[in-house]
Amino acid sequence: MKQLESARLQRMLAVGIFIVSVVPLTLFACGSIGYVKTLSVREVEATAQQRVAHGARELSTYLRGKVTLLSTLINLHPIEHLREVETFASLLQMVNDNGRDSDIIALQLLAIDGSLLAHAGSSHEEDSRRDYKEAQWFNQVLMGGVAVSDVFVDQRGASNFIIALSDRRKTCVLRATINPLLLEAMLGRIQTTPNNEAYLLSVNGAHPAAGLKKQGHLNAIEHRMLKNYQQINVVQDKEFLYTSKWFNDSNWKLFLKTHFGTSLDGYYTYRNLAIYVVLVLSACSMLFSMIISRVIVRWIEKRDQQQKLLYSQLVHVEIIANIARIAASVAKDIGGPLQQIQKQADRVVKLHLQEETRYTNRYQNNQDALEKIQIHARCIRTIIDRLARFSQKIDSEYDIQLNWILREFLSFYEKEAEDRNIAINLHFDEQLPTIRTDGTQVQRLILDLIENALDAVGSDGQIDIITYCKSGEVCVQISDSGPGITSERMERLWQPFVVSRGASKGMGLNLSMYSNIVYTLGGKISTKDRPQGGMIVTLSLPVRG
């Protein structure tokens, strides 16, 4: 049983130490992981905003430069000169810096009515149209002078940008088709990693323009961002960070869709490292808590053994004191029979010495003296047998009978009670069951209770001893007709080193010590005032089979 309790205590201590050490560590790790994630997300946001802002400036600068270049060309050359095939082809080469950049793949010269006047560069089915009068971008040029738009999708599925503008007199329109590979390269520099997406959306969001847009339709976040006209707009969901910025007079919007999974590599590395450290430290803490709990339990067991040893020594000292008191009582009881034996022995000697008494019935007198010696010798033998039975140690956890113990102890005090005119009234339940308990401790308790009752009465009083069984407990009730205890002192009786009697009335009841003894036996002890005066002490012990 004690081993099970020690194991349970060790487990509880180990769990407690483990929780106390691991919980703060876990909270700190979670807090630091959250803090690092916040910093990482902010860093990703800042980086995305910088890239989008730089990309929008680069696109705007590029488009403005091409518009300026084309405007210079159309205003420097008359329309008759531009309509010449060789001249128009040389203009394309000049725009592309002799073919080294090739950012403009085609040039077209259009009349005000939308008809095609001249063409240079790559051809497309769109180019076969001779009338652009109904095209949206053409009307935009006639109204505003300049238009930047995507007008057709090439064989690769990429939208082709065009820059169209008219001369000052609006006699013709010059249209340049931008190389989509150039725009894709610019967007690729913004994208930086394959898992990110950089793309352009027109103001109406109807057509994804040249870029790396993987989805065929706009999602809800992209629709909301197209309606937001802030300089830089940032929105995030669980998986992506969306960053956008308007350019080209808010006709186009540059989007950067950043994937958190690849952009937060530093955070994920720190998170995994923190989790690994927590797991390692938790394992070390578990081992440490098991070792410490084992050391603590062993220390407690050692202290408990030392306390038990000291307690057994104190019990031994008190038993010796009880034996001394009993020995004094026994000496008093034996003194009477010994005196009679000595007296009768002296008488026999005198009868043998007195020769002149031969004529008397000497034999009869000797016989009477010898019989008295035998009677008193048997009395002494009875007292010695009782003392021997008392001095016998009752093994712990052994069946004992409280009625028998009470009768044995009371036999030592019959003479003392008779001399002090104290009536001892016994009311024993003869059907009282035996109890399995520590007999030595029970002997000590009952002996002290009887002696304190005798000390409390003093002389000319009575002591009532009652035994009964109630609710699975064997009870011994000892009441005396002594002076009793005041209510103030009754409250202090359960405090350590407080006794029920003064120094003149013996050792007194040390109920604090008694309650500890009874608690170890699984019982209880209580006190109360006796209605007729005095005190009642009730000892209850469990019946255990």
Summarised one tens digit per residue, pLDDT across range 217-232 is: 778 888 888 888 777 8
Q: Would 213 be classed as within a structural domain?
A: yes
**What residue spans of 108-164 are helical by DSSP H?**
136-144
What is the H or E stretch that residue 256 is in?
A: strand 252-259
Rounded distance between C-alpha atoms, residue 70 and residue 95, angstroms: 8
Task: Return the SS3 of 463.
Answer: strand
Residue 211 pLDDT grade (very low, low, confident, very high; cuts 50, 70, 90): very low
The per-residue pLDDT for 332 is 66
Summarised one tens digit per residue, pLDDT across range 236-284 is: 888 899 999 988 777 788 889 998 888 888 888 999 999 999 999 989 9
**Listed residue (37, 34, 26) closest to 280, CA to CA:** 26
Could you tell me if 386 and 409 lie in one domain?
A: no
Q: Would 326 be classed as within a structural domain?
A: yes
Q: What is the mean pLDDT of residues 312-330?
A: 68
**What is the residue whose two structure tokens read 């036996």?**
521
Q: Would 78 be classed as within a structural domain?
A: yes
Could you tell me if 169 and 148 lie in one domain?
A: yes
- DSSP letter string, 31-48: HHHHHHHHHHHHHHHHHH
Residue 365 pLDDT grade (very low, low, confident, very high; cuts 50, 70, 90): low
Residue 215 pLDDT grade (very low, low, confident, very high; cuts 50, 70, 90): low
Q: Which residue has the higher pLDDT, 153 or 521?
A: 521
Summarised one tens digit per residue, pLDDT across range 383-416 is: 666 666 555 544 456 788 888 888 887 887 887 8
Q: What is the mean pLDDT of residues 444-449?
A: 82
Domain carrying residue 22: 2-263
**What is the residue whose two structure tokens read 């009536």?**
423
Could you tell me if 399 and 461 lie in one domain?
A: yes
Q: Would 204 be classed as within a structural domain?
A: yes
Q: Would 276 be classed as within a structural domain?
A: no
The two tokens of residue 201 are 């959306």
Q: What is the CATH number of the domain that holds 370?
A: 1.10.287
Q: What is the CATH number of the domain that holds 475?
A: 3.30.565.10
Q: In the chain, how many domains are there?
A: 3
Burial-class residue 210 by CB neighbours within 10 Å (0-12, 13-18, 19+): buried
Summarised one tens digit per residue, pLDDT across range 501-523 is: 543 343 445 566 677 778 778 88
Could you tell me if 425 and 411 lie in one domain?
A: yes
495 pLDDT more than 60: no
Neighbour tally for 197: CB within 10 Å:
21
Q: Which residue has the higher pLDDT, 469 or 308?
A: 469
Q: What is the mean pLDDT of residues 287-307?
A: 87
Exposure on the CB side of residue 130, measured as CA atoms within 13 A = 1
Q: Would 322 be classed as within a structural domain?
A: yes
Beta-bridge partners for 462: 423
Could you tell me if 461 and 538 lie in one domain?
A: yes
What is the H or E stretch that residue 379 is in?
A: helix 362-391
The per-residue pLDDT for 507 is 41
As a whole-number percent, the residues of the chain with pLDDT over 90 amount to: 11
Could you tell me if 348 and 419 lie in one domain?
A: no
The per-residue pLDDT for 410 is 83
Cβ 257 vs Cβ 197: under 8 Å? yes
Q: What is the mean pLDDT of residues 135-145?
A: 84
Could you tell me if 30 and 161 lie in one domain?
A: yes
**What residue spans of 220-264 are helical by DSSP H?**
220-226, 260-263
Residue 30 pLDDT grade (very low, low, confident, very high; cuts 50, 70, 90): very high
The per-residue pLDDT for 243 is 92
∠ CA(342), CA(345), CA(351), 5° rounding?
140
Q: What is the CATH number of the domain that holds 235?
A: 3.30.450.20
Could you tell me if 43 and 141 lie in one domain?
A: yes
Q: Which of 371, 392, 413 is the last residue of a domain?
A: 392
Q: Would 122 be classed as within a structural domain?
A: yes
- What's at 282, amino acid-wise? S
End-to-end alpha carbon distance in the chain: 17
The per-residue pLDDT for 443 is 80
Provide the mean pLDDT of the chain: 78
Rounded distance between C-alpha atoms, residue 80 and residue 76, angstroms: 12
Q: Which residue has the higher pLDDT, 169 or 128?
A: 169
